[in-house]
Amino acid sequence: DLVRSRGLGDVYKRQVHGLKQQVQLNPSIDIVPHLRQTLVSGGFGLSYYGNKEGEMFRHDPSLNKAGYDPRVRGWYKQTLAENRAVTTKPYVSVTMQTLVVTLTDPVTENGSIIGVVASNLALDKLIEDVLAIQVPGNGRAILIDKQGTVVAHKNKDFILKQVKEIAPELSVSGLNSAAQNLTTIFTQVDGDERVIMAEPIKGTDWLLVIEMDKDVLEQPLFDMLISQITTCLLYTSPSPRDRTRS
d(CA 246, CA 198): 29
Q: What angle do CA 159, 13, 63 make, to 5 degrees?
A: 70
What is the pLDDT at residue 2? 38
pTM of the full predicted structure? 0.73
What is the pLDDT at residue 158? 94
Q: In sequence order, what DSSP letters do the residues of 127-168 get, joined into one string? A: HHHHHT---TTT-EEEEE-TT-BEEE-SSGGGTTSBGGGT-T
Task: State the CB neighbour count (10 A cutoff) for residue 210.
Answer: 22
**76: nearest Cα among 64, 90, 63, 86:** 86
What is the pLDDT at residue 5? 32
What is the pLDDT at residue 229? 59
What is the pLDDT at residue 235? 46
Report residues of the chain scoring pLDDT below 50: 1-9, 235-246
What is the pLDDT at residue 231? 57
d(CA 86, CA 158): 24
Please name the residues in contact with 149: beta carbons below 8 A apart, sequence gap of 6 or more.
89, 90, 160, 161, 162, 163
What digits encode the pLDDT tens for the residues 65-76? 999 999 999 999
What is the pLDDT at residue 79? 96
